[in-house]
Each structure stands twice: as structure tokens, then as C-alpha cells.
């Protein structure tokens, strides 16, 4: 790919993806809250920031996300669910990426292969949930997955070679996961980035609207 746009480029995965692409010779444009003042939960900020960019981009990759928002830890029981925690999770993990998707349409080329990807999480899968818990985070990611799947249908009409996907990066050793790793194995961000880029490079328009893990395997909705 010639030109990529990475949203959330100062985060653990976003920074690693940016570095990997640049080392491979891809021209990369980066956006983040800390460097550019982009607030993905504010549509005016998203609209203004993306309107100022010169595309097109062969890849728009949203690498933002949060497990703990405003101090609210993942719920272990239904009694712990609150409207504020659910609202905050939706703003960061569903509404934010959805606003990027909405306002990035004009940045994707119509005459060639183009990818819009957003980081999701396997725990957002309804079909692959056997242990429960983490209500707000799971629900927000499941909603993001639905946005990706639905938008892929519309994009496929205007951008015939487009690929719109949700990606599960696996368990990555970042600030987001540091308190929750326990005995679970985790990969470092550079390895996770290489895995995700390998998956993206192997996708075709027939894969649009799907949910893939870091190894390129489809994740059940």
C-alpha cells in the first residue's frame, strides 16, 4: 500500500503499526489526541480534522480503544453495570470509530483496493462468549462490529474494491491490558502490528464486512 492513515498513532498498537508500515516503505499520516487534538468522541473534531487531510488513503486504520474509561473497571457482575460506564464505553469503543468511518469515506479511493479497519476484540463476539462479565466493554465492541458489518455493505456500492473489517489483535502487552494479563500470554506491540498488517495485506473485497483475528481467522459474530 502506498499511503495509510493511522488513527490513534501514539497508542501502543497504533505506534507499532505506524513504525512497521514506514519501515516497509508506506507513506503514513498519523492522527492522535495528544499530537493533533483529535477527539474521536466529538464529531465536530472528527469532521474538521479529516476534512483537512489530503487523500486518498489505501488504508484507514482506527487503532484506538479503551478497557477502562473514567476509572470504571470491567464489570464482573451484572449488579456492577452503570449507565455512565456503558455510555463511556460506547463513546470510546463504538461511537468514536463510527464517526471516523462516517467522515473517512471521502478519503478512500473508488478506483482501487482500499481498506478501512478498526480494532475490535474477541470479547465483543456474542457467539464466542462462554464466561460472561465485562458487560460494557463487550457490548460496545459488539456494537462496533455491527457498524463495520453494516457499513461494509454501503461502502461496497460506492467503493467496489473496498474492504471494511474489524480486527482482533490478540492479547497485546500495552497500558490497556497491563492490569488484566494475569497468566494469559501476550505479545509485544511490534509483533501484534506485524500480525495485523499481514492480515490486512491478505484481504480481498470478498472479505469485506468480516471480523478477523490476528492470525487471519474469522471470528464469529
Q: Convert 152-208 into a string of H (helix), E (strand) and C (coil).
A: HHHHHHHCCCEEEEEEECCCECCCCCCCCCCCCCCECHHHHHHHHHHHHHCCCHHHC
3-class SS at 78?
Answer: helix
Count structural domains, the chain: 1
For the residues 180-189, what does the mean pLDDT come to? Answer: 72
Per-residue pLDDT reduced to its tens digit, 203-216: 999 999 999 999 99
pLDDT of residue 24: 96
Per-residue pLDDT reduced to its tens digit, 128-158: 999 999 999 999 999 999 999 999 999 999 9
Is 110 part of any domain? yes
Is 123 part of any domain? yes
pLDDT of residue 174: 72
pLDDT of residue 186: 79
**Residue in 2, 3, 11, 1 with CA at minimum distance from that of residue 119:** 11
What are the residues whose beta carbons fall under 8 Å from the beta carbon of 191, sequence distance 6 or more? none
Percent of the chain clearing pLDDT 70 (strictly above): 95
What's the whole-model pTM score?
0.94
Rounded distance between C-alpha atoms, residue 182 and residue 28, angstroms: 34
Question: Would the CA dihedral through 176, 180, 182, 185 be positive or negative?
Answer: negative
Is 220 part of any domain? no
Q: Beta partners for 164? A: 116
Residue 107 is classified by DSSP as: G
Name the grid cell of 45: 473534531
Is 221 part of any domain? no
**Residue in 68, 52, 53, 63 with CA at minimum distance from that of residue 17:** 63
Strands (E), the chain: 3-7, 27-31, 59-62, 114-119, 162-168, 211-213
Confidence of residue 55 (pLDDT cuts 50, 70, 90): confident
Q: Beta partners for 162? A: 114
Confidence of residue 185 (pLDDT cuts 50, 70, 90): confident
pLDDT of residue 177: 57
Residue 184 has pLDDT above 80, yes or no: no
CATH of the domain at 32: 3.40.50.720
Indicate the average pLDDT of the chain: 95
Is 218 part of any domain? no
Rounded distance between C-alpha atoms, residue 163 and residue 92, angstroms: 23
Is 128 part of any domain? yes
Burial code (b: 16+ CB inside 10 Å, e: under 16) for 184-208 equals: eebbebbbbbbbbbebbeebebebb
Is 141 part of any domain? yes
Is 189 part of any domain? yes
Q: Domain residues for 139? A: 3-213
Q: Of all helices (H) and strands (E), which one includes residue 153?
A: helix 135-158
Residue 183 has pLDDT above 60, yes or no: no
The reply to whether omega before 56 is within 30° of 0 (cis) is yes
pLDDT of residue 97: 98
pLDDT of residue 175: 64
Contact between 122 and 168 under an 8 Å Cβ cutoff? The reply is: yes
Per-residue pLDDT reduced to its tens digit, 21-48: 999 999 999 999 999 999 999 999 999 9
For the residues 108-116, what does the mean pLDDT come to? Answer: 97
3-class SS at 11?
Answer: coil
Amino acid at each position: 500500500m502506498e499511503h495509510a492513515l493511522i488513527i490513534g498513532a501514539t497508542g501502543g498498537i497504533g505506534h507499532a503499526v505506524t513504525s512497521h508500515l514506514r519501515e516497509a516503505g508506506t507513506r503514513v499520516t498519523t492522527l492522535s489526541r495528544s499530537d493533533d487534538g483529535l477527539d474521536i468522541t466529538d464529531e465536530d473534531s472528527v469532521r474538521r480534522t479529516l476534512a483537512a487531510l489530503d487523500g486518498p488513503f489505501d488504508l484507514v486504520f482506527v487503532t484506538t480503544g479503551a478497557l477502562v474509561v473514567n476509572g470504571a473497571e470491567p464489570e464482573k457482575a451484572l449488579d456492577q453495570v452503570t449507565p455512565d460506564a456503558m455510555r463511556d464505553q460506547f463513546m470510546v469503543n463504538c461511537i468514536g470509530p463510527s464517526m471516523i468511518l462516517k467522515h473517512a469515506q471521502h478519503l478512500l479511493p473508488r478506483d482501487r483496493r482500499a481498506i478501512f479497519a478498526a480494532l475490535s476484540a474477541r470479547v465483543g463476539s456474542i457467539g464466542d462468549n462462554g464466561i460472561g462479565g465485562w458487560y460494557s466493554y463487550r457490548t460496545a465492541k459488539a456494537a462496533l462490529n455491527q457498524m463495520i458489518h453494516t457499513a461494509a455493505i454501503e461502502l461496497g456500492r460506492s467503493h467496489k474494491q473496498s474492504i471494511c473489517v474489524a480486527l482482533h489483535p490478540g492479547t497485546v502487552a500495552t497500558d490497556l491490558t497491563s492490569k488484566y494479563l494475569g497468566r494469559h500470554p501476550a505479545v509485544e506491540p511490534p509483533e501484534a502490528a506485524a500480525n495485523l498488517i499481514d492480515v490486512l495485506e491478505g484481504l480481498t473485497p470478498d472479505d469485506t464486512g468480516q471480523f478477523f483475528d490476528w492470525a487471519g481467522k474469522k471470528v464469529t459474530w
